[in-house]
C-alpha cells in the first residue's frame, strides 16, 4: 500500500545575534543631532552590525592568542591602540574618564581605598 507523504521537518535558519536596530538608531541620533533619512539608517545599521561583529572577532582573537577563554580589559586596550583611539598621549583611562558616567568609571578604573584595598578587585 502507498504510504502518506510526510513533510520534511522545517529547520529554522539560525541567525546571529545582532545589536537592536532601535539601539543603533538611538545612539546614532544622539551624536548626529539632525534628521537622518530612513534609508540612511538602514545603511548605518548594516555598517554597525559589521563593525560590532569585527570588534567581537578581534577581541576573541586577542584573548585566544593570549591563551585565555575570557576577554579582558587588556584585549580591549590592544584593539583600541590598533584603531588609533588609545595612544601614549591618550591612554585608555583618560577615554574612560572623559566619556563614561561616574558609576561606570568606578567599575573600570581601579581606586585604592583605606585598608589597603583596591576597588574593583580582580
Domain chopping of the chain, boundaries: 84-113
Residue with cell 545612539: 27
Mean local confidence (pLDDT), 1-6:
58
Contact 44, 24 (CB under 8 A): yes
Q: Is the pTM of this model over 0.75?
A: no
Residue 78 CA to residue 74 CA, distance in Å, equals 6
Q: What is the pLDDT of residue 119?
A: 63
Please write the tens of the pLDDT for every residue from 87-105: 989 988 888 888 888 888 8
Please write the tens of the pLDDT for every residue from 41-93: 999 999 999 999 999 999 999 999 999 999 998 898 899 999 998 998 998 88
- Residue 120: is its pLDDT beyond 60? yes
Amino acid at each position: 500500500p502507498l504510504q502518506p507523504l510526510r513533510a520534511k521537518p522545517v529547520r529554522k535558519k539560525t541567525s546571529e545575534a545582532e545589536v537592536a536596530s532601535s539601539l543603533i538608531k538611538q545612539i546614532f541620533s544622539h551624536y548626529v543631532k539632525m534628521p537622518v533619512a530612513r534609508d540612511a539608517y538602514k545603511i548605518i545599521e548594516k555598517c554597525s552590525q559589521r563593525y560590532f561583529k569585527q570588534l567581537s572577532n578581534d577581541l576573541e582573537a586577542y584573548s585566544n592568542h593570549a591563551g585565555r577563554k575570557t576577554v579582558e580589559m587588556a584585549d580591549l586596550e590592544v584593539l583600541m591602540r590598533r584603531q588609533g583611539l588609545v595612544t601614549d598621549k591618550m591612554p585608555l583611562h583618560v577615554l574612560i574618564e572623559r566619556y563614561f558616567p561616574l558609576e561606570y568609571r568606578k567599575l573600570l578604573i581601579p581606586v585604592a581605598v583605606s585598608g589597603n584595598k583596591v576597588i574593583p578587585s580582580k
